[in-house]
Amino acid sequence: MTPARPGPLEELRGTWVGEGLSVLAEPGPRAGPPVLWRATATHEAIMFATVGPLVSGRGPTRPGAGMFGVQYLHDARDATSGRGVFIEPGVWLEVPGNVQSGALSSVVRFAALRTGHAVLADGDWENLDGPPSIGSVSSMPVDLRSRRPIAAHEQLESQAGEMPPGVPAQALADPNALLQRHIEGQRITSTTVLSVESGPDIERRLPHLPFVAVHPKTLGLQATLWIETIADPAKPRREVRQLQYGQRIVVNVDGVGWPQISVATLRRASPKR
């Protein structure tokens, strides 16, 4: 029998509030530069509430197992004007392991994205001792035929000087730089990492939402959540929980993959429910 691992989703329950960044690469005007970047500093809140346990429907699983999860509502607003940037409802589920196949339990996520697509992505999690290793993520559009980035580096550098106050210029090319900056100097003692993805090579996407008149093809989604435990140097016995996330959506428009990236660092603002 495949042993059960402690599920990570219970750690998400409650409301998390913090600051982040939204970076969208978009086609430029016909007579202008080929690429434009739109960067918005955001104030974000994510509310997680428990759902389940649900019947898994996957055949033999570990005894007494059901799918446990959290439903969420993610609200991101312009940090300056308060206008909405995006709102995303969805569900995270822990899928129990399968006794016959020996498959370990996994996590899946259903989300209604800002692009007007409904996506089902899956992945895994791991528990780390210490801080996370947050890699780079590129906001450069990609020619999907050659799989090479579109040459717009000079334009990217010129627009980086117009980043919102408090956001480093390098975050336009690599929004994860803002996440890395937020944890500098923090004493993170443990991290739970949840990573999911969806793309054209795995038939997990659900039909497009009906309110979109023209349906661009979602090329892929990659999302990672880092649930971090921070030691308080002033109070050794006190720990602070922090949630960081990075999400990259790539939309295929006329053979070019246009990335839409959002990142944020949040703290729990209400008790678990």
The single-letter code of the amino acid at 55 is V
With 60 as the cut, is the pLDDT of residue 117 above it? yes
Where is average pLDDT lowest: 74-78, 94-98, 238-242?
A: 94-98
User: Is the separation of the CB atoms in 40 and 48 below 8 Å?
Assistant: no
* Domain residue ranges in the chain: 9-268
Tell me the percentage of the chain whose pLDDT exceeds 70.
78
Q: How far apart are CA 229 and CA 79, in angstroms?
A: 26
Q: How far apart are CA 214 and CA 251, in angstroms?
A: 12
Q: How far apart are CA 112 and CA 110, in angstroms?
A: 7
Q: How far apart are CA 25 and CA 6, in angstroms?
A: 39
Tell me the percentage of the chain whose pLDDT exceeds 90.
47
Whole-prediction pTM? 0.85
Mean pLDDT of 18-29: 91
Residue 61: pLDDT band by 50, 70, 90 thresholds?
very low
What is the pLDDT at residue 3? 40
User: Is the separation of the CB atoms in 67 and 53 below 8 Å?
Assistant: yes
User: Under CATH, to which class is 9-268 assigned?
Assistant: mainly beta
Look-up: residue for tokens 């709102």?
87
pLDDT (tens digit per residue) in 139-182: 999 888 888 888 777 788 888 888 998 899 999 999 999 999 99
Q: How far apart are CA 79 and CA 93, in angstroms?
A: 30
Radius of gyration of the chain (CA): 20
Q: Count other Cβ atoms within 10 Å, centred on residue 98.
A: 18
What is the pLDDT at residue 56? 52
Where is average pLDDT lowest: 52-61, 69-78, 196-205?
A: 52-61
With 90 as the cut, is the pLDDT of residue 129 above it? yes
- SS3 assignment, position 76: strand
What is the pLDDT at residue 203? 42
Residue 21: pLDDT band by 50, 70, 90 thresholds?
very high
- The mean predicted confidence, pLDDT, of the chain is 82
Mean pLDDT of 27-51: 87
Mean pLDDT of 41-54: 89
Name residues whose C-beta falls within 8 Å of residue 227's C-beta, 6 or more positions apart in sequence. 8, 11, 12, 191, 192, 193, 194, 241, 242, 243
Q: How far apart are CA 212 and CA 111, in angstroms?
A: 16
What is the pLDDT at residue 266? 98
Mean pLDDT of 36-42: 94
